[in-house]
Structure 1
Amino acid sequence: MKILVVGAGATGGYFGARLAQAGKDVTFLVRPRRAAALRERGLRLTGVGEDETVTPRLVTAGELTGPYDLVLLSVKATALDAALDDIAPAVGPGTAILPLLNGMAHLSRLGARFGEGAVLGGVARIISTLNGEGDIVRLAPVASLSVGEQRGGPSERVAAIAAVLTDAGIDTRVPDDTLTAMWGKWVLISTLSGLTCLMRGTVGDVAAVPGGRAFVEGLLGECAAVAAAAGHPVPKGELDALATMLTTEGSPLTASLYRDVVSGAPTEVEHVLADLTDRARLHDVGTPLLDLVVLHLRVHEHRTAAD
């Protein structure tokens, strides 16, 4: 299977490296500056007891020739429009596109450009970041991928992709309802991003102060209510587990969106959080806490643009 990994960041870089280590036919599509760094240092993985270096096969936009069997799309939502143009030469009639972005808005944009049938549903669960040298730092052991048809049900191409990922040692799952799995991840990411960005602290910081747990539970309830109204309720057991994880005292957990805020970088507020509030309005679901998070982050975006 000929695989193109779009982006060599904290998520796509990790899973692409695992595929490359397993001897799969993997090429990374990256920007020229990232390509130069990777050619000099290699793609380095660290954290959680690992310290490994992969020598990746690289291309930049304009160097792609011929279609790929699988395009693993792992870019920030803010870079999605440019990525659509970049990957166009790699998408042929039989290409499957597996996006690993948070939220749901990218599905319609990819479908409009390449056809809905080309686009799979996907969920990446990994807690990682890039350090100052561009190395991938895993912050927790969790690292899994879920893949499936948007319409649900089994398919030959999903089975083939899952087999390749599993053979590379990646914890791979094929959920019965891929869209509901994506909504579950969206609820998690929105709650985690909201509580850490608005409160400017870790999960443990928020849980340690009076009112912190109630705030988290209220925000989680709002996000879950939107998912339920959209027809993709998060199972109670999963919600209970999320509530426990997001109210654990001493937890150092933060969201990547929070780390963007702290570093003064642009965020995915519109794609991840504002889109969720828009869907809440469509279903007449009140989200006052989530609305406050969106307002807070839009002020950050305004400041970032001005700077």
Structure 2
Amino acid sequence: MPHVLVLVDHDGERVHKSTYELLAAARRLGDPAAVVAGTPGTAARLKESLARHGATCVYAVESDEADEFLATPLVDALELAAGVASPMAVLVSATTDGKEVAGRLAARLDAGLLIDAVDLDSSGAVTQIVFGGSWTVRSEVTHGLPVIAVRPGAFEAEEHPVEAEDRKLAPPPVDQAASARVIERRAVLAGGRPALTEATVVVSGGRGVAGADGFTLVEELADVLRGAVGASRAAVDAGYYPHQYQVGQTGKTVSPQLYIALGISGAIQHLAGMQTSKTIVAVNKDPEAPVLALADYGVVGDLFEVAPQLTRELAARR
């Protein structure tokens, strides 16, 4: 079967969950082949986990300068692997960085580009959420190689052990004059909770939380569910919670098994970032709040009464 290239999202030591989801999606089209861009030795460290999740081939595109530039080494790696493999498609995660990589790769290869796919069938047609979540459409590439950016959480990560072939490719020197260089890195304090885009449970607070102190209720509920904490744009703009936790069109896109919205009215900007969650629970005192129309389970009530009761009940059942 033809290869389907998957760009590996990693931190040098660990493969991110979104990559395993891409490998599962790639199996619908052909043989998943992982493309690892990084410093020398990175692919060797990641190969076992990639093979365990179905990667039949691992393309190692490594250089000492791979971590010194934004996007360009990733685009170079995919372009190089595509030239060698003649793949059926290229899949990347639809993160902020992933979308940039996908767009630049499509431009280089004169390929078709599909952004924010939430489903994919064996014919290569994808389902997309577009116009801020207002429309769901089916699309397919009619010219060139399909480059598809898949929304994190849209597919279930599955173990599918195989023997992975090693392929080492030598990347070209980075064009420094046309590339953004990384001059400093600062670690984000993540605490003990799972990453927002990788969590199976997300509890988010909105303007109705009424202040930074109110997010304690959100955090307590998230912790009892071993989930991540999110926030609406209104809550972030009001200074209730840091921007890195914003869910929505201008924040992070999530698709957990369970999404709980506390005091979030449901502006389309927010719904665009979470509406593909498998189960949505909303608590809002306004019975006309748009989020209640989207929710699988809606509670019309005061979140300051409902959330603590829910937290206590869940804690008692653990």
User: TM-score, length-normalised on structure 2?
Assistant: 0.35
Q: Which has the higher helix share?
A: 1
Between Structure 1 and Structure 2, which shows a larger proportion of strand residues?
Answer: 2
Structure ID, larger Rg:
2
